[in-house]
A and B are shown apart, each in its own frame.
Chain A
Amino acid sequence: MSEVKYSKEHEWIKLEGDTATIGITKHATEMLGDIVFTELPEKGSNVEKDGTAGVVESTKAASDVYTPVSGEVVDTNQAIVDDPSKINQDPENSAWFFKLKIKDKSEMDSLMSKDEYDKFAKESSS
């Protein structure tokens, strides 16, 4: 069983065992516009909950990508570095950003469910 949760910084996180896959939400891509540059954390590095773990840039501006949980980066998605427009096309599936081996599953508890996030995104954009 996998569960998907969402952060206030508009990341999604899917947990399978102790491996978490993290990306940015469709709502985030709609706010950003066309993404033309992506920077990902280095494989083997450690990232801390709510710390920066990458950058996305649209034609307009650069935005940090935060990690909603702590862990060691075990994989990154080179495909979105080579072609950042993939993030606009399929943000919540094939255009994931990085995978973490997480330390503390309880960090997931404070994150939002799909319904909670949808409500949050709607409110924060209005």
Chain B
Amino acid sequence: METKKTSLFQLHQDNNAKFVEFAGYQMPIQYSDGIVEEHKFTRNHSGIFDVSHMGQLFINGSEDLVSDLEKIFPLDLKKLKLNHSKYSFLMNNDAGIYDDLIITKIEGGFLIILNAACKESDFEILSKLLKNKYKMVLDEKRSLIAIQGPKSVEILKDVIEGVEDLNFMTGNWFLFNDKRVYITRSGYTGEDGFEISVDNELADKFTRKLIEKGAKLIGLGARDTLRLEAGLCLYGHELDKGKTPIEANLKWAISKERISKGDFIGSDIIIKQLNDGVQKVRVGIKPEGRIIAREKTKIFNQSDLYIGEITSGTFGPSVNGPVAMGYVENEFSKKDTKVFLEVRGKKHPANICGLPFYKKNYVKGVN
């Protein structure tokens, strides 16, 4: 299969992007400034991310659709207000995670943002579950651009007036060049920011406007270090079919009311795990030295027994040190538990820690 290109491919090239293949797309991993500078620029200023490879699934329907989606997602969708968004996941009967996603109630239905690598299979799973009752479009004609960082609101409102009034996890339709764009105040970096769904034909022009106003293109490399510092899960690493939302420490994303009813896919296991506890659980891990423990690094307890594995690990430019997430046996998941990480045959001390690693400090002049 030939790798796909997003509508910003030319713009990435013009900005000296280094490309990698990701989920069947040619995506920029970094530009000339490099991952560390791009990361810091996003934290201190404003970074633009081409996330057009992600799925934009529009489902049309009204009350029936709300009820049918409630059988799938552990959310109070009946109570979800127009233009409000929720983080959720698509699960199998064992509460294993097919994908994590953001679902937004829009006029006439829902917009669901899906991971690039899962979007096609998600579409099939959802079509089956919804028995083809509703019009579903995995929209390839729209691009998705994220702008993240403290200066993003100033920059974006200069291009599209009114976005400054959006609250976190809400959205609305706006106009750009007389075309409708859907903007949500959201993102995946731990920063204030927006995601803009825009027609492919306008994506390049729109993004160049943001650059004119002072934002910079940021690659997938920095996107990964930013989300990891923010303690956010990445599908295929922290999340997969073999892990449940309870094990992934995402209980907060499940509606309490829906749990009490227990009438959604995977609810049996979710309720069982909430009552009985879990064997393994996702934690933050901070190595004591500078050593970087990457995905698949084995974790040991103080008695040298294997207790789990790292799922993501890198150097956090804002933390200025190594950071990691992984799964450990529940009894070793308490904050400040000392563990050992096996890197290149040697065991290195580390501590279980709270997440996120990096929390936004809104005081001006800091960092």
Contact = CB atoms under 8 A, between A and B. Distances in A.
B294 A37 contact: no
Interface string B112-153: 000000000000000000000000000000000000000000
A50 B353 CA distance: 40
Interface string B34-61: 1111010000000000000000000000
A28 interface: no
A89 to B, nearest CB: 12
Given A57-B315, A59-B315, A60-B221, A34 B35 contact: yes
Interface string B193-231: 000000000000000000000000000010001000000
A60 B229 CA distance: 15
Interface string B296-319: 000000000000000000110100
Contacts, number: 40
Nearest to B314: A59
B95 interface: no
Contact of A59 (B35, B291, B344): B35
A58 B39 CA distance: 14
A60 B35 contact: yes
A54 to B, nearest CB: 11
A37 B292 contact: yes
A31 B35 CA distance: 13
A99 B27 CA distance: 40
A60 B29 contact: yes
Interface residues on B, range: 10 to 19
Interface in B309-367: 314-315, 317, 322, 344
Interface in A73-104: 81, 85, 88
Nearest to B322: A37
A60 B35 CA distance: 9
Contacts of A58: 35
B186 interface: no
A114 B120 CA distance: 50
B30 interface: yes
Contacts of B314: 59-60
A65 to B, nearest CB: 12
A37 B348 CA distance: 14
B251 interface: no
B35 A33 contact: yes
B290 interface: yes
A59, A61, A81 pick with most chain B CB within 10 angstroms = A59
14 contacts: A33-B221, A34-B35, A34-B37, A36-B292, A36-B315, A37-B291, A55-B344, A57-B292, A57-B315, A59-B39, A59-B315, A60-B29, A62-B292, A81-B290
Interface of B: 29-30, 34-37, 39, 221, 225, 290-292, 294, 314-315, 317, 322, 344
Interface of A: 33-34, 36-37, 39, 55, 57-62, 81, 85, 88
